[in-house]
Structure 1
Amino acid sequence: MKFESVLYAAATLSIVSAHTIMNKVNHNAQGVGIYMPSDDSPQMDVTSKSMACNGPPVSGFKSSSQKISVAAGSTVTGAWLHTLTNSEADNKVIASSHKGPVLAYMKKVSDAAQNPSAGPGDGWFKIAEEGLISSSQWAVDKLISNGGTQSVTIPSCIANGDYLLRFEVIALHSARAYPGAQFYMECAQITVTGGTGTKSPSTVSIPGTYSGSDPGIKVNIYNTKGQPYPASYQIPVIT
């Protein structure tokens, strides 16, 4: 067995113990203004409606009627945690083996408190993405070093109103076959103020924008030395 295959198998075995949850937005209390699951399981079917905001209302998910007011052009921060009560220093955010990109999308909606039912379908536009940063650092590595904090800037050119803000981490440690990539996402409920409304971004559908054959989703990230740092990586393209 090749060394890279050994690492791939080891990473796959760590799946159960190394998931993650977005649980706080803008330093609010846990679950305020965000639709939050009680467990840290990923989505793996890119055709599922759960790809939008991590599932329809089901037992174990905590909804919130609150919306978070944010100014256009300002920074919004989300906090990722392995579990809602986890305090293990070596695995507080997500396992370091779970390399991959970190992204963010927005969708204008009539009422953000209708999260997550307002999530599936067209209207999504990407506002941030980071993938393979260097030959020794992924966006997930950066997320871990930042203590699980993901910061995104709300575009100043969008219209005022309610939006879903979708934070996403894609773990690629077992993505050599589909389904294998793990998708972690949560949607915050925000109301944007102070936007100029001068631009209407092109939008895509979630589910629909990702494909199981996308080279950024079905991919072997291990190099010839068995390290999870390929020569290049293409972040999933929105289509």
Structure 2
Amino acid sequence: MHASTLFASFATAALVSLANAHGIVSKIEVAGQTFESPLIGASGDNGPFYVPTDNSPITDVTSENMFCGSVATAATSTPSIDLSQGNTISFYWESGYSTSNWPHNTGPIFLYMAKCDSDCTSQTASSTNFIKIEQQGFVNGAWAQAALNTGSPVTFTIPSDLASGNYLIRHEIINLASTDENFPACSQFAITGGSNTYSSAQTAQFPGAYSATDAGLADAGSAIYSVKTNAEYTFPGPDPVLSSDGSDSSASGSSSDSNSASSSSSTVASISSSAGATSSSSTATGVVVLPSSVRLASASVTLATTTSSVSVSAVTTPAAATGSSSSSDIDTCATQWTTCNAAYMSATASDNSTTVAYSCQTAYVNCVAQAESAVESSSVATAVTSEVASSSSAADAMATIDTAAATSTPVVNSRAFAKHLRRHHAGVSRLDFH
């Protein structure tokens, strides 16, 4: 073979290999519907997809392409999603030029959503405020991203009470194997859900949400391989939304979402009084005496497939009842997260055609948040107890002084003294003199 011909063959093979080394979102499954993206450079209907010019990563986090990637053509339709028919959304990744699977396996995965003012195609980077729905890192000791190597999708849970409207969905993979490589992919849908705007959730704009010096990005390369757990990794961007971040959330911050289509549920841990706890009361001075025992109710996470379901008991944190806080509380939540993910991976591995609802990360985030809330509530109770004890000590001192004074000039009648004893027993350090 002529040298030039041989070189051309090698060059072509190298280009094909390079092209297949990255990827784009090739398919989305949500609420019982399936949408397939056209290949890069293909003509025709894009559907809900914003199709990029190529499958290369964005390596500069300040680039305008961090918004939705290097978009060549915008979406041509806005399909409707009824969250009552299913609120999980699954993304499949391929090379964009063929059906080759996603090749990378190191780094986090995210789902961001932003409500559009009207038509999502008119949204700009500066006018779009995303909320982070979910983030995924390690699953059973490996990055969740690695499952894409086998052709499996990554699945997220959209809050079922999310306010209805047109949404720009920004799904992102970050490959940290050698350098920071960002793969943002956008799509748009008209969502029918609830009325929760999640108005108090942290928001992010792209570019702007990430900095090259962020720990979760700066560790790209050799340093990332020493990171083995989610606790050791710092996710870039804002915190994921919580059930308490919305305008319709209850005062307690606890909620439960039901998804009849996927038969999956997540009962969020909530703070409640123990069965035998003393009920809240108020003294004459207006000081509230909190229940003597506060516990964190256990939560359960159910992962269901079309043929079977996997149930995992969620964490109960006894430390919250004493007002103490330690890393062990969060570690327990992390252990539950790992167990849930292991069950999820096992369920999906048994049958790639089975749709499995993923809610482990949401349960983990709420577990941590509720544990911290329980500690705060218990700390308030401890502070009040300390205040009452202090008042009681002051009352004892006052009683001693009054007794000494009474030997020379008694000024406290029996009725007033009885009234004092009742208040002293309640921790009130004041006498009524007549």
TM > 0.5: yes
Which of 121, 124, 129 is residue 123 of structure 1 equivalent to? 129
TM-score (norm 1): 0.75
- Separation in structure 1 between the aligned mates of residue 119 and residue 149 of structure 2, nearest angstrom: 29
| TM-superposed deviation, 1:83 | 2.4
Matched, 1:94 2:93: no
Shift, 1:39, TM fit = 1.8
Q: Distance in 2 between matches of 1:67 and 1:20?
A: 23
Q: Shift in Å at residue 196 of structure 1?
A: 2.8
2:210 corresponds to which letter in structure 1?
Y
2:46 is equivalent to residue 47 of structure 1: no
Give distance in 2, aligned partners of 1:69 and 1:48: 31
Q: Which residue of 1 aligns with 2:163?
A: 159
Q: Determine if contact 1:221/1:229 at 8 Å carries over to the other structure.
A: no
Structure 1 residue 64: deviation in Å? 2.4
User: Aligned residue for 2:52?
Assistant: 37
Match of 2:178 among 170, 174, 179: 174
Q: Secondary structure of 1:228's match?
A: helix
**1:184-226 Cα shifts (integer Å, max 9, x gaps):** 1111111110223263233121111100000101104547xxx
Q: 2:79 aligns with which of 56, 65, 68?
A: 68
CA 1:16–1:214: 2 relative to 1, 3 Å: farther
Q: Map of 1:1-239 to 2, 5 A cutoff?
A: 17-26=20-29, 27-30=34-37, 31-55=46-70, 61-72=72-83, 74-86=87-99, 92-96=100-104, 98-114=105-121, 117-121=122-126, 122-135=128-141, 137-145=142-150, 147-175=151-179, 181-197=180-196, 199-200=198-199, 201-220=201-220, 222=222, 228=225, 230-231=227-228, 232-238=232-238
- Contact 1:99/1:171 (<8 A) preserved: yes
SS in 1 for 2:177: coil
Give distance in 2, aligned partners of 1:84 and 1:238.
Answer: 33
Q: Which amino acid aligns with 2:144?
A: A
Give the greater-gyration-radius structure (CA): 2
Contact 2:20 2:97 in 1 (8 A): no
Q: 8 Å contact 1:23–1:36 — kept in the other structure?
A: no
Listed as ranges, the gaps of 5+ residues in structure 2 are: 1-16, 38-45, 240-434
Q: What is the alpha-carbon distance in structure 1 between the residues aligned to residue 52 and residue 207 of structure 2?
A: 19
User: SS of the residue aligned with 1:144?
Assistant: helix
Are the counterparts in 1 of residues 93 and 101 from structure 2 also a CA contact under 8 Å? yes
**Alignment partners' CA distance in 2, 1:166 and 1:130:** 14
CA distance in 2, matches of 1:80, 1:202: 28
C-alpha distance in 1 between matches for 2:113 and 2:210: 16
Q: Is the 8 A contact 2:75 2:187 kept in 1?
A: no
CA 1:99–1:25 in structure 2 vs 1: closer, same or farther (change >3 Å)?
same
Please say if residues 159 and 196 of structure 1, whose CA atoms lie closer than 8 Å, have aligned partners that are also in contact.
yes
The TM-score normalised by the length of structure 2 is 0.43
CA distance in 2, matches of 1:39, 1:199: 34
What is the CA-CA distance between 1:157 and the residue it aligns to? 2.8
Q: Deviation of residue 25 (structure 1)? A: 2.2
- Structure 1 43/128 Cα, relative in aligned 2: closer, same or farther at 3 Å? same
Relative to structure 1, is the Cα distance of residues 24 and 215 closer, same or farther in structure 2, using a 3 angstrom cutoff? same
Number of residue pairs the alignment of both structures matches = 204
Cα deviation 1:71-90 (Å, max 9, x = unaligned): 2361122221122323xxxx
Percent identical residues: 30
The AA in structure 1 aligned to 2:24 is I
- Give, as a single letter, the amino acid of the residue that structure 2 aligns with 1:208: G
Q: By percentage of residues, which structure has more helix?
A: 2
Note the residue ranges of structure 1 that are not aligned, 5 or more in a row: 1-13, 87-91, 176-180
Higher relative contact order (CA 8 A, sep 6+): 1
Query: Alpha carbons of 1:37 and 1:209: their partners in 2 closer, same or farther (altered >3 Å)?
Result: same
Q: Secondary structure at the match of 1:50?
A: helix
The 3 A distance-change label for structure 1 pair 202 and 79 is: same
Q: C-alpha separation between the residues in 2 aligned to 1:134 and 1:222? A: 21
Q: SS of 2:67's equivalent?
A: helix
2:215 is paired with a residue whose SS is: coil
Distance 1:16 1:216 in 2: 26
